[in-house]
């Protein structure tokens, strides 16, 4: 990537400025939807991949976990990229990496190359989300951010929710490679069209990157997620050691950032956590992501391995929830702009917890409609949570911290999602093995393991309920107007 500091930032006035800003955000929204969709597209495919590639469920799970973990490691670097380079080259880099990763995955001869393709895909996806958030915060005045971030929430929540549905439809008629072959031309088109329409809306600086921080982030976040994925199984010792490495690595990472931020050189500036709304929102986002991604990974396993649904049926069962999130997001944004976050966050957190507790009652004889009810309820709760959490949290920051806040939100989101996936699968595996050891049939044992995992998730969800009561909307400036870089 070349430095484009010499390219002037386009700064039109009036209506042309507003039109330019809308165009930039629309291009980013469409491109981000394409890349985020692939985050959960592997969930329904796991049973197929286990058979076709002759791998275990635990190995297949890493096609999703490695994607999220890569994002968690790469996203902190985007804070540097967004300070050092202009909008357009960062966008081109993101979509180029995603397109390359999609090509590698589509042509992969086996599991190892497929995993590499997923990692390259995730590298591009990781750049896209902070780019989208930072651009919105720079271009949209506070009084309108709820509505716009409502559209961003569609990308963040609906795209992952629709992943299983789309993959289920594809797998009903074609082999797993077509999940990537069909996305590839869309990704390339987004790259070509976006590179022509995208304009520069930020002013580059001479920010420097700290290599040690990247290494510490990799050990910290990687150790935590890898450790969670191995706890309770045959590799419990490895899981415990990995968790210990993760905790130590994360501790040193935090220490390094606290030291570097004194001279404004941190990879992630932790002064964002001095803002109460941002900190509380991060806590609630973490809980929500554990619930979302843990559920997305287990429900397809339950529907296919326990109650015997086909991949297409599994995808269709999950479709109403995904559509509901998409339909509600703009309305939630408008309610936030008018009434603030509390009226949305309190019922949202309660509904999410109630939905997870309801999933603890699923067994081998549950009708498929009970899964629809549970998933739609979870989707409703998450739709009420995401927009106000992202808006209130990020809007509480000063403009200087926008890129760092966006990167932290993305990092925490992915680590929590990866941890949720790993934790739910690990608990399910232990619960299933225990039930089989007690003589239960495979279907009933699998259902018992999944119920145990959902019980853990339901308990975790309770922590979000008291947290959201304390999240308030930052004061909006009614005189703010759509602006150019840095405003």
Q: 369-411 pLDDT, tens per residue?
A: 888 999 999 989 988 998 899 888 888 888 888 888 888 887 8
The pLDDT of residue 202 is 65
Cβ-based neighbours of 74, under 8 Å, separated by 6 or more: 122, 123, 126, 127
The pLDDT of residue 207 is 64
- Is residue 329 a contact partner of residue 154, using CB atoms and an 8 Å limit? yes
Q: Tell me, yes or no, whether 159 and 230 share the same domain.
A: no
Highest mean pLDDT pick, 15-29, 57-71, 188-202, 333-347: 333-347
- Closest by Cα among 50, 157, 210 to 413: 157
The pLDDT tens digits of the residues spanning 464-474 come to 999 999 998 87
| End-to-end Cα separation, the chain, in angstroms | 26
Compute the CA torsion angle 433, 435, 437, 442 (nearest 10 deg).
-80
- Could you give the CA distance from residue 206 to residue 56 in angstroms, rounded to a whole number? 47
> Residue 5: inside a domain, yes or no?
no
Confidence of residue 181 (pLDDT cuts 50, 70, 90): very high
Encode 12-26: b = buried (16+ Cβ within 10 Å), e = exposed: eeeeebeebbeebbe
Does residue 323 have a pLDDT over 50?
Answer: yes
Q: Tell me, yes or no, whether 262 and 289 share the same domain.
A: no
- Is residue 297 a contact partner of residue 61, using CB atoms and an 8 Å limit? yes
Q: Tell me, yes or no, whether 253 and 281 share the same domain.
A: no
The pLDDT tens digits of the residues spanning 249-280 come to 999 999 999 998 888 788 888 899 999 999 99
- Could you give the CA distance from residue 173 to residue 165 in angstroms, rounded to a whole number? 13
Does residue 144 have a pLDDT over 70?
Answer: yes
Confidence of residue 289 (pLDDT cuts 50, 70, 90): confident
> Residue 486: inside a domain, yes or no?
no
Encode 82-120: b = buried (16+ Cβ within 10 Å), e = exposed: bbbbbbbbbbebbbbbbbbbbbbbbebeebeebbebbbb
> Residue 77: inside a domain, yes or no?
yes
The pLDDT of residue 16 is 65
- Is residue 135 a contact partner of residue 406, using CB atoms and an 8 Å limit? no
Secondary-structure breakdown of the chain: helix, strand, coil percentages, each rounded to the nearest 5: 80, 0, 20
Q: Tell me, yes or no, whether 127 and 257 share the same domain.
A: no
Number of domains in the chain: 2
Average pLDDT over residues 298-327: 82
> Residue 284: inside a domain, yes or no?
yes
Q: Tell me, yes or no, whether 134 and 272 share the same domain.
A: yes
Average pLDDT over residues 232-248: 79
> Residue 4: inside a domain, yes or no?
no
Stretch among 1-15, 110-124, 329-343 having the lowest mean pLDDT? 1-15
> Residue 174: inside a domain, yes or no?
yes
Does residue 2 have a pLDDT over 60?
Answer: no
The pLDDT of residue 12 is 47
The pLDDT of residue 465 is 93
Q: Tell me, yes or no, whether 88 and 171 share the same domain.
A: yes
Q: Tell me, yes or no, whether 325 and 358 share the same domain.
A: yes
Confidence of residue 53 (pLDDT cuts 50, 70, 90): confident
Q: Tell me, yes or no, whether 172 and 222 share the same domain.
A: no
Cα separations in angstroms, 315 against 41, 44, 78, 165, 379: 10, 7, 33, 3, 15
> Residue 334: inside a domain, yes or no?
yes
Q: Tell me, yes or no, whether 242 and 361 share the same domain.
A: no
Cα separations in angstroms, 155 against 188, 440, 486: 19, 41, 24
- Closest by Cα among 336, 377, 338, 347 to 468: 347
Q: Residue 67: which domain range?
A: 15-209+267-468
Does residue 118 have a pLDDT over 60?
Answer: yes
Tokens coding 59: 């190995």
- Average pLDDT, whole number, for the chain? 82
The pLDDT of residue 233 is 56
Burial label for 264, CB within 10 Å (0-12, 13-18, 19+), is exposed
Q: Tell me, yes or no, whether 151 and 250 share the same domain.
A: no
Q: Tell me, yes or no, whether 195 and 291 share the same domain.
A: yes
- Could you give the CA distance from residue 241 to residue 247 in angstroms, rounded to a whole number? 10
Does residue 325 have a pLDDT over 50?
Answer: yes
């Amino acid at each position: 990537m070349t430095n484009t500091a010499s390219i002037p930032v386009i700064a039109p006035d009036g209506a042309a400025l507003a039109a330019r800003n809308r165009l930039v955000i629309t291009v980013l929204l469409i491109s981000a939807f394409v890349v985020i969709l692939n985050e959960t597209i592997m969930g329904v495919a796991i049973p197929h991949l286990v058979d076709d590639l002759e791998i275990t469920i635990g190995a297949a799970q890493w096609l999703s976990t490695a994607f999220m973990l890569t994002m968690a490691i790469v996203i902190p670097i985007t804070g540097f990229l967004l300070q050092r380079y202009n909008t357009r080259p960062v966008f081109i880099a993101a979509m180029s990496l995603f397109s390359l990763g999609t090509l590698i995955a589509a042509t992969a001869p086996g599991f190892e190359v497929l995993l590499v393709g997923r990692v390259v895909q995730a590298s591009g996806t990781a750049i896209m989300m902070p780019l989208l958030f930072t651009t919105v915060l720079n271009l949209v005045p506070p009084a309108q951010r709820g509505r716009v971030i409502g559209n961003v929430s569609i990308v963040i929540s609906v795209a992952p929710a629709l992943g299983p549905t789309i993959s289920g439809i594809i797998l009903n008629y074609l082999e797993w490679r077509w999940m990537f072959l069909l996305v590839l031309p869309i990704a390339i088109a987004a790259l070509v069209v976006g590179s022509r329409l995208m304009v520069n809306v930020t002013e580059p600086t001479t920010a420097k990157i700290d290599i040690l921080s990247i290494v510490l982030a990799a050990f910290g976040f990687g150790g935590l997620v890898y450790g969670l994925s191995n706890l309770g199984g045959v590799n419990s010792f490895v899981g415990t050691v990995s968790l210990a490495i993760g905790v130590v690595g994360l501790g040193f990472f935090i220490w390094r950032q606290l030291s570097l931020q004194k001279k404004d050189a941190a990879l992630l500036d932790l002064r964002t956590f001095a803002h109460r709304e941002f900190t509380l929102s991060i806590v609630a986002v973490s809980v929500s992501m554990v619930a979302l991604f843990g559920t997305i990974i287990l429900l397809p396993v339950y529907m296919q391995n326990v109650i015997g649904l086909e991949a297409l049926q599994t995808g269709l069962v999950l479709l109403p929830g995904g559509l509901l999130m998409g339909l509600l997001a703009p309305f939630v944004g408008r309610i936030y702009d008018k009434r603030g976050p509390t009226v949305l966050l309190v019922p949202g957190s309660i509904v999410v917890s109630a939905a997870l507790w309801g999933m603890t009652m699923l067994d081998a004889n549950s009708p498929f409609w009970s899964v629809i009810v549970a998933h739609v309820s979870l989707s409703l709760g998450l739709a009420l949570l995401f927009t106000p959490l992202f808006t209130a949290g990020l809007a509480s920051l000063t403009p200087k911290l926008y890129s760092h806040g966006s990167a932290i939100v993305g990092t925490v989101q992915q680590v929590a999602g990866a941890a949720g996936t790993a934790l739910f699968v690990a608990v399910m595996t232990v619960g299933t093995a225990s039930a089989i050891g007690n003589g239960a049939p495979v279907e009933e044992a699998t259902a018992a393991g999944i119920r145990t995992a959902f019980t853990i998730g339901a308990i975790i969800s309770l922590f979000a309920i008291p947290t959201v009561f304390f999240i308030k909307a930052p004061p909006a400036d009614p005189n703010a107007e759509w602006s150019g870089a840095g405003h």
